[in-house]
Structure 1
Amino acid sequence: MQKRKLSALLLGASIASSGFAATEIEWWHAMGGALGEKVNEIVADYNASQDAFKVKATYKGNYSETMTSAIAAFRAKQQPELVQVFEVGTASMMAAEGAIYPVHKLMRDSGQAFDGSKYLSAVTGYYTDNDGNMLSMPFNSSTPVLYYNKAMFAKAGVTPPKTWEEMQSVGEKLLASGAKCGFTTAWQSWVHLENMSSRHNQPFATKANGFGGMDTRLAFNSPLHVKHVSKMGEWQQNGIFSYSGRRNDGSAKFYSQDCAMYTESSAGYAGIKKNAKFDFGVVELPYWSGEVKQPSNTIIGGASLWVLKGHKSEEYNGVASFLNYLSSADVQADWHQFSGYLPITTAAYNLTKGEGFYAKNLGTEIAVQQMTTGTPTENTKGLRLGNFIQIRGVIDEALESVWNGEADAQSALDNAVKRGNMMLSKFEKANN
């Protein structure tokens, strides 16, 4: 899609006067590479669209590093107005009531037109309080999908697996045709435990996955979870699955055509399109057909934008203006089409569809369709768990112990649940 010439859409622009310097707004983010370049482009377009405010975007490292930097800056009273925080940090941000300025209140106080119903419920539900008020602004929301190498599939004479049962035979035929591995994965906890739970309408944790209270406990050691992890452990041994690391390191095996499939975020689309020197396809994340007849929706990953307290009212007027701009249909459609992240509003989705983008780029609508499968339940709304960054580290250790043959799936997941529950208990005590 051609770069849009975006006009000043905002009430904040009316404050501008040629006799005054623009009010500066600092935004810390975790978007590197091609995504970071796109963020800089969006910010430049906003700054050019009006002269009341000037946003300064600063890359602060990966998600964990960005959140850690923001916490340290707040304690030193040097915090930015706006910070990007990944979804697993949501519970921690909500608990820091004295540090955050809820988006719904910011928009009301700043006089900005704001209607939460215009945002996709599958996205906003993750970032709202129990009354449905939006606490942070969704920006880059994604969900896992399955990418596959069309040439390798043609050579093996197979079609993409819709179910995990089919993964066995598809993987075997790919290996027989010369592939070094059937599939690899990014973000193993997010894809193969968190989203696997949602896909089968199974709890990852009690208390509606933490939405019902901080006295939640983990539940990802059920027979279904053990079955999935156990099978992946077998596949790791015979080459159908190849472990590549805790983040998205598996992209290298997919780009090099060692692995024919890659379970990764829908937001991996931009990187795959840029780096894959072959024709690839996108399909929905598989499910166990022996467990459910119809899979449920997957849940989101990515991040949202949190407003931090401690700044002047004119700066918050600028933040509200910028957030409204980011939510506009033009900006969101452009971001969605470029990155593979979900459009956060119905208007952006309809605009993208109306432009024929999905018809011209087959597979790019998969993430939206998968996210809107059926009616969300308390098991498929998302996760809201304290100390979740640390818990994911425990999960990674447990899964790695299965992949390398040191532990069986049941004992590994039981141990991870036990250790994770201790972290949840600490978070509960610290915030009561």
Structure 2
Amino acid sequence: MKWNKMQLLLPFTAATLLVGACSNAGTTTNAATEANQAGTASTAPAASANGDAAAEPVKVLWWHSMGGELGKAVDQLVSDFNASHSDIQVEAVYQGTYDESLNKMKASMDSKSGPSVIQVYEIGSRFMIDSGAITPAQQFIDAESYDTSNLEPNIAGYYNFDGKQYSMPFNTSNPILYYNKDMFKAAGLDPEKPPATYEELSQTAEALTKAGNTGASFAIYGWFMEQFLAGQNADYVNNGNGRDTAATESLVNSAQMVKTLSWWKEMVDNKTASNLGRKTDDTKKAFIAGQVGMTMDSTASLRGIVDGAAGKFEVGTAFMPKPAGTTDGGVIIGGASLWIMNNKTDAEQQAAWSFIKYLAEPQTQAKWHINTGYFPITKLAYDEQIVKDNLAKYPQFQTAVDQLHATKLSSATKGAVIGVFPEARQIVESAIEEAFTGGKAPQAALDHAAAQITEKIATYNKTTAK
């Protein structure tokens, strides 16, 4: 298969934004949380120097965005795979943030220097499909009747478009509410009954706000607003959240979004919630320091938060709050998936698929999960003893598992699909800031944001029109 040359002109502007699906640390998109399933591979004989056919291993180049400790976990997965597959050798190369990696991929599209498989954050999915640069995972699934029944439906579902699995999930997370149980006790609150609704959270934040401490602090992060919408089973864009047909209009000024921003602003205004800006690192540090009673963060941050609070206070976890009376909705996964590039030989693509299947095996997923905090993408990983032991050590993670399993797939909980998602997130974050500072009322701020996003969607759609 060849690159679609027209797609080289696609305006993927995420490079100007350092926006992550599971981390809003303000500098990278590396850390966020989960996923995959099993296999072997074909070999591609190569000619040796004397003309004899030699069974040279097929080389698979994997570009990823997992730095630091996550990068070490990636390297271990690759080492384990290579040790057990003499016919395939995978080379993992860190390419910086998700945005940086995508830009490098674009630059490599006219050459053979690019990856065999690339890790792309979830909000880059529309671009990857439109690029014409990938072979859908569904092609390999169908070719061998690969069993996907054990994949977590709420994880695999995000990357399924028009009934086709385009990529395989790898690192997956969702956000949860973290709270200080000791602070709850000191305020006379039941530490085993965290707030479940907006209204309850407001009351709890007021009770926790005392001299030197604030009841809550949530980072100004577009991903959280997307989650609040999904929790009310409301779409982010039209046309089935961009999944029925291409989205043409932003819905971020919906009644559900206005209600959410108004609720959040009220807590900031009455100083029961502190505004620490856009970085989740800042709210995380304040929470671990015992300065705020509640915060929201990715499930991928759970181990770091629990370990950071050890010896200071007990950390509780709860589902993301919803408005009172809300019965539908759930959470959207964050993280990234693996895409196979179509400018490689059939043998190399097949080898890449074999590696992806290895990453999805229960034993592999179990190791990935306990070393990173990301969800296992296969349900069978929970049967592995090391996962059971990890849940015993970090029982707070059960909340994340239960929240994922309680979510029913819908257009809202599958997540929006637009080619300008990174820009949309930044626009929404600016709208939140305008509302908090009094520059605009919540409705006006979100009306302006919706208009801006709709305009950018229109430009993208015109550029990608066949």
Is the deviation greater in 337-346 or in 206-215?
337-346
Counterpart CA distance in 2 for 1:240 and 1:69 is: 44
Does structure 1 residue 214 correspond to structure 2 residue 246? yes
TM-score under structure 2 normalisation? 0.82
Aligned pair partner of 1:165 in 199, 208, 213: 199
Give 2:17's aligned residue.
none
SS in 1 for 2:61: strand
2:184 to 148, 153, 163: 153
1:85 aligns with 2:100: no
Residues 176 and 296 in structure 2, CA contact (< 8 A), matched pair in contact too: yes
Corresponding residue of 2:84: 49
CA deviations on 1:261-309 (whole Å, 9 max, x unpaired) are 22111111233244344431221111111x41x3522111111111112
Residue of structure 1 in register with 2:297 after alignment: 264
In the TM superposition, 1:221-236 aligns within 5 A as: 221-236=253-268
CA contact (8 A) 1:80 1:308 kept: yes
* Whole-angstrom CA distance in 2 between matches of 1:298 and 1:343: 16
Determine helix, strand or coil for the equivalent of 1:302: strand
Shift of 1:356: 5.3
Question: Partners of 2:68 and 2:284 in 1: how far apart?
Answer: 14
Matched, 1:30 2:65: yes
- For 2:300 and 2:61, the matched residues in 1 are separated by 25
Q: Quote the Cα distance in structure 2 between the aligned partners of 1:12 and 1:198.
A: 39
RMSD: 2.5
> TM-score with structure 1 length normalisation?
0.88
Query: What is the one-letter code of the residue matched to 1:45?
Result: D
Q: CA deviation at 1:365?
A: 2.0
Which among 361, 382, 385 is matched to residue 328 of structure 1? 361
Q: Does 1:143 align with 2:174?
A: yes
Matching residue within 368, 371, 374 for 1:341: 374
Q: Provide the residue aligned with 2:41 in structure 1.
A: 12
CA distance in 2, matches of 1:417, 1:44: 46
Whether contact under 8 Å (1:16, 1:51) holds in the other structure is: no
Instruction: Give the structure 1 partner of residue 336 of structure 2.
Output: 303
In structure 1, list runs of 5 or more residues that go unmatched.
1-8
Q: Residue type matched to 1:154 in 2? A: K
Residue 202 of structure 1 is aligned with which of 234, 247, 250? Answer: 234
Question: 2-side partners of 1:334 and 1:354: how far apart?
Answer: 8
- Distance (Å, rounded) in 2 between the aligned partners of 1:155 and 1:186: 25
Given that 1:29 and 1:66 are in contact with CA atoms closer than 8 Å, whether structure 2 keeps it comes out as: yes
Q: 1:354: Cα distance to partner?
A: 7.9
Match of 2:92, SS state, is: strand
Is 1:316 equivalent to 2:349 in the alignment?
yes
* TM-superposed deviation, 1:80: 0.8
| Aligned-partner residue type, residue 140 of structure 1 | N
Q: Tell me: CA distance 1:427–1:338, structure 2 relative to 1, closer, same or farther (3 Å).
A: same
Note the C-alpha offset of 1:184.
2.4
Q: Residues of 1 paired with 2:427 and 2:317: CA distance?
A: 30
Unaligned 5+ segments in structure 2 are: 1-37, 47-53
Number of residue pairs the alignment of both structures matches:
415
